[in-house]
């Protein structure tokens, strides 16, 4: 008996992706997954997360007081009277508290922060005997505002005092002793969580500002480099051409000082001397050479500068808290850096930014045998990158 044979084209490796369950992804699913992952990565890299973080901190800071109002209406030992007092006090102090959080999440001090904190403290502490036995949980917002507004020693003193007072105050207001420690625990954990959110938003804001400052500094350094280079090279040539052109124009002007014996043009009009004509020819040749040099340098400016790349790397590491020293040779370095060495340098800088425990870094450039060697020394580890000259 003869069995039929079926020829199957072998699948090229790496073409099909596999789901976690073992089934292959379809092309449409693969594109959707890749797009979703890329979108999330772009979200975290962009400035949108910096704008969203303060909003999240404000929303979370408003949730705990609203929960406190709900408990003031329905918890054991409370009634509508205590709920109404809690609602009125929350409506009075919550805008001040959210104002403190909003400014602190943007890494700035709230205007008139101490006065608004004093008003907030009067409202929160003054309504304590009337707002029910769960009202000490509202001390968490007062602690957060104290840390954000007051200087360091006083803010920590307020924090410790309010956390320690939450349980005894709740007992005096009629809370059973079995759960009297719950308000203190809520104040401690709630204020800590809210402060972490605010500090995270402020850190993201400062990071974004530092990134923009570094970008502006890199642009300014590149502009200064191009300005100095043009002034040193093309500037002198253009000034010489302009001065020689002015002398030639003066020689052609009646009554001017010609560079040689003037001749006569047809019709009796004086014409330029042979020496003046030769000078005009030399000016034209110099203008063409200067134009060619300008085009060459403009093409070179489109390539990244090695010196600017090294200075940006050193500035970025220093801004991240890693003391970095840049050592350049006296004879200077090449004007540009190829894409390969530039990518290697940026990879080293990225690893250093992610590393922990690095105390100091040195970026040294040496010129030898027509090439530049970049050495990045971080503590006892040295990485070498070769840059063609």
| Higher per-residue confidence, 132 vs 123 | 123
Give exposure, 168-183, as e/b (b: 16+ Cβ within 10 Å): ebbbebebeeeebebb
In a domain, 222, yes or no: no
**Do 290 and 328 have their domain in common?**
no
How far apart CA 213 and CA 207 sit, in angstroms, is: 10
pLDDT band at 32 (very low <50, low <70, confident <90, very high): low
Which backbone phi and psi does 324 adopt, to 5 degrees? -130, 135
pTM score above 0.75: no
In a domain, 97, yes or no: yes
DSSP for residue 14: T
The pLDDT assigned to 21 comes to 44
In a domain, 145, yes or no: yes
The pLDDT assigned to 37 comes to 46
| Higher per-residue confidence, 299 vs 166 | 166
Contacts of 199 (CB under 8 A, 6+ apart): none
Whether the per-residue pLDDT at 259 is higher than 50: the answer is no
Whether the per-residue pLDDT at 50 is higher than 60: the answer is yes
The pLDDT tens digits of the residues spanning 280-299 come to 677 777 777 776 777 666 65
| Higher per-residue confidence, 102 vs 21 | 102
**Do 365 and 284 have their domain in common?**
no
**Do 158 and 295 have their domain in common?**
no
**Do 92 and 68 have their domain in common?**
yes
How far apart CA 40 and CA 55 sit, in angstroms, is: 19
| Average pLDDT of the residues in 168-176 | 81
| Average pLDDT of the residues in 340-352 | 85
How far apart CA 169 and CA 180 sit, in angstroms, is: 9
pLDDT band at 4 (very low <50, low <70, confident <90, very high): very low
**Do 279 and 366 have their domain in common?**
no
Neighbours of 105 (CB within 10 A): 26
How far apart CA 98 and CA 110 sit, in angstroms, is: 11
**Do 192 and 79 have their domain in common?**
yes
* Number of domains forming the structure of the chain: 3
In a domain, 130, yes or no: yes
**Do 172 and 59 have their domain in common?**
yes
**Do 290 and 341 have their domain in common?**
no
**Dihedral Cα 287, 289, 294, 296, nearest 10 deg:** 160
Query: Residue 215 half-sphere exposure, CB side, CA atoms within 13 Å?
Result: 6
Relative to beta strand 361-368, strand 324-327 is parallel
How far apart CA 361 and CA 348 sit, in angstroms, is: 11
Domain that holds residue 336: 306-388
Q: Could you write out the three-class secondary structure of 190-256? A: HHHHHHHHHHHHHHHHHHHHHHHHHHHHHHHHHHHHHHHHHHHCHHHHHHHHHHHHHHHHHHHCCCC
In a domain, 260, yes or no: no
**Do 56 and 189 have their domain in common?**
yes
The pLDDT assigned to 295 comes to 67
In a domain, 286, yes or no: yes
Whether the per-residue pLDDT at 137 is higher than 50: the answer is yes
How far apart CA 381 and CA 361 sit, in angstroms, is: 10
pLDDT, mean over the chain: 75
| Total length of the chain | 389
**Do 170 and 121 have their domain in common?**
yes
The pLDDT assigned to 16 comes to 43
How far apart CA 235 and CA 232 sit, in angstroms, is: 6
First to last CA, the chain: 74
What are the Cα distances from residue 159, in Å, to 59, 132, 162, 188, 313?
Answer: 22, 22, 6, 8, 41
Whether the per-residue pLDDT at 323 is higher than 80: the answer is yes
The pLDDT assigned to 41 comes to 45
Range from 33-37, 297-301, 308-312 carrying the lowest mean pLDDT: 33-37
Per the listing, tokens 């080293």 go with 348
In a domain, 38, yes or no: no
Contact between 237 and 286 (Cβ < 8 Å): yes
For residue 384, give the 3-state DSSP assignment: strand
In a domain, 102, yes or no: yes
The pLDDT assigned to 270 comes to 52
Whether the per-residue pLDDT at 163 is higher than 80: the answer is yes
Long-range contacts of 381-384 (CB under 8 A, 24+ apart): 383/348
Q: Output the domain CATH number for residue 341.
A: 3.30.565.10
How far apart CA 317 and CA 220 sit, in angstroms, is: 19
Per the listing, tokens 């400014």 go with 103
**Do 55 and 179 have their domain in common?**
yes
Whether the per-residue pLDDT at 204 is higher than 70: the answer is yes
**Do 56 and 193 have their domain in common?**
yes
| Average pLDDT of the residues in 33-60 | 65
| Higher per-residue confidence, 47 vs 86 | 86
């Amino acid at each position: 008996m003869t069995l039929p044979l079926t020829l199957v084209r072998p699948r090229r490796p790496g073409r099909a992706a596999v789901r976690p369950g073992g089934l292959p992804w379809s092309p449409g699913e693969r594109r959707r997954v890749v797009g979703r992952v890329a979108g999330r990565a772009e979200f975290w890299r962009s400035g949108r997360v910096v704008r969203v973080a303060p909003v999240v901190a404000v929303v979370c800071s408003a949730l705990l007081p609203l929960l406190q109002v709900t408990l003031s209406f329905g918890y054991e030992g409370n009634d509508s009277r205590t709920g109404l007092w809690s609602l009125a006090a929350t409506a009075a102090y919550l805008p001040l508290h959210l104002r403190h959080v909003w400014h602190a999440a943007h890494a700035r001090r709230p205007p008139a922060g101490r006065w608004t904190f004093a008003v907030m403290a009067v409202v929160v502490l003054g309504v304590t005997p009337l707002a029910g036995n769960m009202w000490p949980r509202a001390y968490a917002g007062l602690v957060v505002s104290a840390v954000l507004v007051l200087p360091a020693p006083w803010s920590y003193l307020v924090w410790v005092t309010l956390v320690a007072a939450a349980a005894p105050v709740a007992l005096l207001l009629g809370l059973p002793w079995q759960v009297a420690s719950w308000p203190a625990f809520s104040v401690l954990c709630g204020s800590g969580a809210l402060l972490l959110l605010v500090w995270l938003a402020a850190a993201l804001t400062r990071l974004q500002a530092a990134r923009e400052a570094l970008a502006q500094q890199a642009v300014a350094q590149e502009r200064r480099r191009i300005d100095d280079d043009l002034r040193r090279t093309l500037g002198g040539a253009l000034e010489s051409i302009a001065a020689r052109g002015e002398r030639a124009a003066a020689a052609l002007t009646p009554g001017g000082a010609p560079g040689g014996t003037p001749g006569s043009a047809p019709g009796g009009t004086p014409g330029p001397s042979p020496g003046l004509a030769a000078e005009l020819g030399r000016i034209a040749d110099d203008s063409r050479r200067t134009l060619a040099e300008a085009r060459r340098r403009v093409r070179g400016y489109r390539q990244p500068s090695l010196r600017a790349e090294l200075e940006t790397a050193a500035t970025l590491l220093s801004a991240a808290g890693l003391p970095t020293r840049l050592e350049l040779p006296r004879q200077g370095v090449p004007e540009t850096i190829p894409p390969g060495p530039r990518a290697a340098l940026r990879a080293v800088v990225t690893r250093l930014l992610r590393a922990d425990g690095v105390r100091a870094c040195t970026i040294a450039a040496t010129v030898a045998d027509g090439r530049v060697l970049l050495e990045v020394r971080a503590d006892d580890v040295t990485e070498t990158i070769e840059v063609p000259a």
